[in-house]
Amino acid sequence: MGDSKYSETVDNYKRSIRLKLIFIIACIIAIVVVVSYAVTVGAVDIGFFEVYAIIIDHITGNITSDYDYIVFDMRLPRVVAGIIAGAGLAICGVIMQSVLKNPLADPYTTGVSSGASFGATMAMTLGMSALLGDSSVVILAFVFSLVPTFIIAMMSKFANASPTTVVMAGIGVMYLFNAMTTVMMLWANSSDLNRIFYWQVGSLALIKGWESIPIMFAVVLVGLIISMILSGKLNVLATGDDSAKALGINADRMRIFTLVLTGVVSAAIVSYTGLIGFVGLVTPHIVRMFIGADNRYLIPASALFGAALMLIADVIGRVVIYPSALPVGVVMAFIGGPFFLWMVIRRSNKAW
């Protein structure tokens, strides 16, 4: 088309895509920088650039540094877990907000957190470690965190799978599980209560070492790939159920499938890290402000931004009252809370 207005439109459109890609690259750079800084924090002084040198040496099998053990086995698992957890919770948040058409939805909207909490509390109070070993908390948290999602998925077969049904069912299930958790906590002794409390706030300090990583990594990676494949469909679903059906997408089935997907991904994360809040809620909003609501870009960008945010929050938590540390969940709430308030005020322009 020789229309100059047309080429201008296409140029603008392409520029908007370039800006999205730039945002994604900026997030990757931020992660690379923060990883290095995060590994330097601790009792032993390790230089900023030394960190990557040690990592590269380790990977190439040419271990020269005395700090290899500290970097690779003590500090890096926590950092890697932070990246995985941040990325995973952020994509769950994007998907939940999109399919439930609700800016308040997060990875826990379907009650994942209440189920996980119940499982972890059960493991810690009822002496399950005799039965399931050291991993009892992780195992029970994982199993029970899936329960609310499946209850909602089953319920939607009898009612419907509209966003309102799902959100309300999620609230119902959450109260039920919280009540059961409370009962167990009433019976618990004070040292167990301490552990439960610490777990419910969520912390990357709960990551014990590399053995915590593989399952979480595999689940989040698969979740990320599936949600990238579905991202175009999510865009169609976001235009409303009727128009999605008219474009050939079974809206109800799609919503239930994505709920189960996010349920499994967030369960795999929180069972290792405890309930880390806010990253799943706030990340999608921040990223949307930069690159818009197109899920094809929003999902990968949120995964990266969530990872960076999680790492930064964890570093702040470890530095701000050094040598003691604040759990990442608390730092995230301190960052996320005021941000959320600011966003509510900003919402007056109705751009989202």
Partner 1 sequence: MTEVVIKDVDFGYSEDHIVLHDINLVIDEPGLYCIIGPNGVGKSTMVKCVSKIVTPLKGQVLLDGEDVAKMKHKDVAKKVGFVPAFSQDAFSMSVINTILIGRYNHQKWGSREKDLEMVYKTMKLLHIENLGMRNYNALSAGQHQKVSIARGLVQEPAILILDEPTANLDVKYQVYVMEMLRAIAVERQMIIMTICHDLNITSKYAHKVIMLARPGKIHAVGAPEDVLTEDNIREVYGINCRIFTDEETKKPYVILGSAIMGMAEDY
CB of 305 to partner 1, least distance (A): 16
Up-side HSE of residue 289: CA atoms within 13 Å toward CB? 14
CB of 249 to partner 1, least distance (A): 7
CB of 224 to partner 1, least distance (A): 16
Q: How many residues does the chain have?
A: 352
CB of 245 to partner 1, least distance (A): 5
Structure tokens at 332: 């995230």
CB of 123 to partner 1, least distance (A): 37
- Interatomic CA distance for residues 258 and 301, integer angstroms: 19
Of 255 and 288, the one with the shorter C-beta distance to partner 1 is 288
Q: Applying CB under 8 A, does 166 fall inside the site for partner 1? A: no
Site string for partner 1, 249-268 (x = CB under 8 A): xx------------------
Of 188 and 286, the one with the shorter C-beta distance to partner 1 is 286
- For residues 223-242, which are near partner 1 according to CB under 8 A? 232, 235-236, 238-240, 242
Dihedral of the alpha carbons of 260, 264, 267, 272, in degrees to the nearest 10: -170
Q: Applying CB under 8 A, does 165 fall inside the site for partner 1? A: no
The interface region with partner 1, picked from 6-14, 52-60, 106-114, 332-340 by CB under 8 A, is: 6-14
CB 78 within 8 A of CB 314: yes
Q: Applying CB under 8 A, does 247 fall inside the site for partner 1? A: yes
Q: Applying CB under 8 A, does 294 fall inside the site for partner 1? A: yes
- For residues 75-134, which are near partner 1 according to CB under 8 A? 97-98, 101-103
Of 40 and 102, the one with the shorter C-beta distance to partner 1 is 102
Among 20, 255, 288, 318, binds partner 1 (CB under 8 A): 288
Q: Applying CB under 8 A, does 1 fall inside the site for partner 1? A: yes
Q: Applying CB under 8 A, does 350 fall inside the site for partner 1? A: yes
Of 215 and 343, the one with the shorter C-beta distance to partner 1 is 343
Among 74, 222, 293, 343, binds partner 1 (CB under 8 A): 293
CB of 299 to partner 1, least distance (A): 13
Of 241 and 314, the one with the shorter C-beta distance to partner 1 is 241
Q: Applying CB under 8 A, does 2 fall inside the site for partner 1? A: no
Q: Applying CB under 8 A, does 340 fall inside the site for partner 1? A: no
Among 21, 22, 243, 321, binds partner 1 (CB under 8 A): 243
CB of 16 to partner 1, least distance (A): 6
- Interatomic CA distance for residues 205 and 67, integer angstroms: 20
Q: Applying CB under 8 A, does 164 fall inside the site for partner 1? A: no
- Interatomic CA distance for residues 135 and 123, integer angstroms: 9
Give the 3-state DSSP-derived string for the chain, with helices as H, strands as E and coil as C: CCCHHHHHHHHHHHHHHHHHHHHHHHHHHHHHHHHHHHHHCCCCCCCHHHHHHHHHHHHCCCCCCCCHHHHHHHHHHHHHHHHHHHHHHHHHHHHHHHHCCCCCCCCCCCCHHHHHHHHHHHHHHCCCHHHHHHHHHHHHHHHHHHHHHHHHHHHHHHCCCCHHHHHHHHHHHHHHHHHHHHHHHHHCCHHHHHHHHHHHHCCHHHCCCHHHHHHHHHHHHHHHHHHHHHHHHHHHHCCCHHHHHHCCCCHHHHHHHHHHHHHHHHHHHHHHHCCCCCHHHHHHHHHHHHHCCCHHHHHHHHHHHHHHHHHHHHHHHHHCCCCCCCCHHHHHHHHHHHHHHHHHHHHHHCCC
Point out which residues bind partner 1 (CB under 8 A). 1, 3, 5-6, 9-10, 12-13, 16, 97-98, 101-103, 232, 235-236, 238-240, 242-243, 245-250, 288, 292-294, 296, 349-352
